[in-house]
Each structure stands twice: as structure tokens, then as C-alpha cells.
Amino acid sequence: MSAIVLPGVVPANAIAQLRKLMVAGPFVSGKLSAVGGAAAIKDNLLLAPGSPGEREAVELVAGALQASATFQVAAWPEAMLRPQICRYAVGMNYGDHVDGAIMGQAPEHIRVDVAVTVCISDPSEYDGGELMIDTAGVARAWKGNAGDAIIYPADTLHRVAPVTRGNRDVAISWLQSMVREPERRRILFDVRAVLDAMDRAAPPPPEAETLRRSYFNLIRMWA
């Protein structure tokens, strides 16, 4: 599976602010942002685009992702769409779909390589609502803690299971990556994790510089 889970990408203080903003609302139907046939399978709410609360929430989420070194080395963002702040109440879901290849408004279209979901709700606050990502025909469920994020290839078939209790609050976005292929992003992420662990040793082993050279050369080849 080419998805990468990123624990605690959005800090607790930002999550607390996001929760307050979502209490205040207002919300509109998520179908307003649906394109083509997606409106028939999409049933959720959006924090009203352009409202004061939504603008503040978007800044919180975008700022946290931009400040996260882990997110940067996992996603290699070149351009990112404005996050959407979503709520799935009881009975709401989003059917099977693949994200569009090109998104955004002219002249700021981007190629959509990576989808991002950030959890605002804690999993104890709702039942159902799992993000289901299909890999080779097998659906895998994900439900993170508040502040966790998951990134996955935007061409992956995925859906949100119906919520049966509480509210599932999330932020979502899409980005164009400097490294287009998900398998290569995964390799870079894993190599960087090993390199960081070696660098924390006192002193770092001599092999760290050999690995660093290979890591940089892979970036030169793939980015």
C-alpha cells in the first residue's frame, strides 16, 4: 500500500482551534464542490467556503502541513490546493471514487498526485466513517487520531464509510508532488527515516554519509 500515515502532523493547539471554529460553523452541502457524477455519491458538509471561520481553519491546516518536516519528506509538495474542512454527520458517506487528474481554478490548475486527509475528530467521538482505500482490489480501512494525517495516491479508488454515531470532522486537500510516482515517494520517505535515525546516534556511523549520498542522488533522479 502506497499510503503513508503521519501521526500528529497538526499539533493539539491547532486541533483545539479547529474544533471551536467547527462548532461555530456555518456549514453548506458538500455537493456544492462535487464535479460531474460525484454529487450523486457525495453526502457530507463543508465549513462554508469564504466564511471567516473557514478562512481561519484553512490557514491553520495549511500552516501545520507546511511546517511539518515529516509531511514535506513524505509528500514532496510542489503545489497544494486550498484545504476543505469537512463534516460527516450520522448517515453521511462518500461512495467509491477516484480523484480528478487536474484540479483547481485557472490559471492555477495543478496535476493531482497526492490526496491528504487530516483528522480533526478523535476516533472515540464517532463510529463508522472509516476512510477505505483500495489496493489491488483489497479495501483497507483507516481511522486516525485527532491531528494525524494520511497521504495516498490520488488515483486510488477510495470511499468514506457511513457514519453511525457522532461527527467525523476532517480536513482534506490535494497536491502536485515533485516526485510523481508513489513508490518512489515511499522509498525516499523510508530512506530518510533511516538516515535521520543514524544521525541521532552519537556519533553517527560512517555509513550515514554513504546513505546520504544515495538519498540525495535518488532525489536528483526522481524529483
pLDDT tens per residue across span 156-195: 999 999 999 999 999 999 999 999 999 999 999 999 999 9
pLDDT of 104 over the 90 cut: no
Structural contact between residues 22 and 85, judged by C-beta atoms closer than 8 angstroms: yes
The three-class DSSP label of residue 94 is strand
What is the average pLDDT value for the chain, to the nearest integer?
94
Q: How many residues does the chain have?
A: 223
Tell me what the mean pLDDT of segment 140-159 comes to: 96
**Residue bearing the bigger pLDDT, 25 or 195:** 195
Instruction: Determine the pLDDT at residue 138.
Output: 85
Closest CA to 1 of 156, 214, 110, 221: 156
Q: How confident is the model at residue 1 (pLDDT cuts 50, 70, 90)?
A: low
The grid cell for 191 is 530512506
| Per-residue pLDDT at 99 | 92
Q: Average pLDDT in the 77-91 region?
A: 96
Q: Which tens digit of pLDDT belongs to each residue from 62-79?
A: 999 999 999 999 999 999
